[in-house]
Amino acid sequence: MDPLLIVISILVLVAVSLFVLAVGKRQPKSRFVEARLQAFRAEDESDAPRKKGDAFRHTSYSGIPLLSQMLARMGSSEATALALEGAGVPLRVGEYYMIRWVMGALLFLAPLVFGFTMFNLFIALVLGVVGYMAPAQWLENKRKKRVERCNGQLADMLGMVSNSIKSGYGLMQSFEFSGRQLPAPLGLEIRRMLRESTLGITAEDSLAAMARRVDSKDLDMVLTAINIQRAVGGNLAEILDNVAYTMRERERIRGEINTLTAQQKLTGIVVGGLPIFMFAIFMVINPDYMSVLFKESIGRIILVGAAGLEIVGYLVMKRIMAIEV
């Protein structure tokens, strides 16, 4: 047997084993709940005062203790944990990175199965980077879609909170009413914020934690207005009504922009997909004619260049169509 295939098989087995171990080695439910509540328990008088941010230092990023300690030393682990929460993905940081490493390793090894050449090595490196970055792009897209859904529910939430305040309820009671009425994801985040406030966290800190999880500029604007009102006073219901009106106008402008750019987006999809469609048609009609692109070195270079230009064109058109409101 080819020694290269043996090495590849061993690497794939090790990667899959580590992935299964990271996913399968979870704490029992009772221990998980206890660990989650430990951060909110009152400290004994004999303990030293806990500094701000210690709860994050003791966060378990993986079911494997050694991997959790390694991830805790990485500065990006907490940002990754917030991104996973913001996207609504029920994964730990260690599991998320394990998925990225496994995908990168599998796509890197796939071209080398057909032979160890410089071209295959180049393709393996490219595919390895793509496999490692694909989960991050998927997570970012999922997070953006969740933020968009939250932004779409903010105007309704502000209306409920404003009407509740006008009826004589307090701010947190108004949030509780809106949290029961609104569906996920914003309703879920509000209910989580209320649970944190009942466990002893101040209202300002629980609202700030919700803002970090959602990572929405519109929600930041709402919370900024609430914090200013709590500091200097004023009619909170009227402030929230004005903010809700501003958000409705922004949503209307976004809708108009999407309508005006819909034709250009469709044109970009057709122009970008036409070379791929024609390539597939020629492969079916006359595969011998197209085989030159795979057998000759110049043909492989042309294929790589065409794929690179397709990606660059997609990114450029996406950038042109990204109009901030």
135 shares a domain with 188: no
Residue 254's pLDDT is what?
A: 86
Cα 258 to Cα 141, 255, 325: the distances in Å are 18, 5, 11
* 73/48: higher pLDDT: 73
Say whether pLDDT at 312 is over 60: yes
141 shares a domain with 194: no
Say whether pLDDT at 175 is over 50: yes
Residue 74's pLDDT is what?
A: 83
Residue 113 pLDDT level (bands cut at 50, 70, 90) = confident
> Is-contact 25 92, C-beta < 8 A?
no
Say whether pLDDT at 133 is over 90: yes
The residues, ordered by sequence, that sit 6+ positions from 22 with a Cβ below 8 Å of its Cβ are 62, 63, 64, 67, 94, 95, 98
Domain boundary among 122, 146, 170: 146
110 shares a domain with 71: yes
Residue 29's pLDDT is what?
A: 45
Question: pTM for this one?
Answer: 0.72
Domain boundary among 203, 228, 251: 251
Say whether pLDDT at 124 is over 50: yes
Residue 20's pLDDT is what?
A: 52
Structure-block tokens of residue 302:
């042309």
111 shares a domain with 17: yes
Segments forming the whole domain that contains residue 174: 147-251
Rounded to whole angstroms, how far apart are CA atoms 217 and 204? Answer: 17
174 shares a domain with 213: yes
317 shares a domain with 202: no
**pLDDT tens by residue, 176-231:** 999 999 998 999 999 999 999 988 888 889 999 999 999 998 899 898 888 888 88
Say whether pLDDT at 246 is over 60: yes
56 shares a domain with 155: no
Tally the domains of the chain: 3
**Lookup result for tokens 């230009």:** 309
Domain boundary among 194, 216, 251: 251
Range name among 80-84, 115-119, 211-215 with the lowest pLDDT average: 115-119
**pLDDT tens by residue, 19-53:** 555 544 444 444 544 554 554 444 333 343 444 44
Residue 228's pLDDT is what?
A: 87
11 shares a domain with 114: yes
* End-to-end CA gap in the chain: 61
96 shares a domain with 73: yes
Name the helix (H) or strand (E) containing 60: none
Average pLDDT, whole number, for the chain? 82
- CATH number for the domain including 233? 1.20.81
Find the mean pLDDT for residues 9-23. 58
139 shares a domain with 33: yes
308 shares a domain with 241: no
283 shares a domain with 152: no
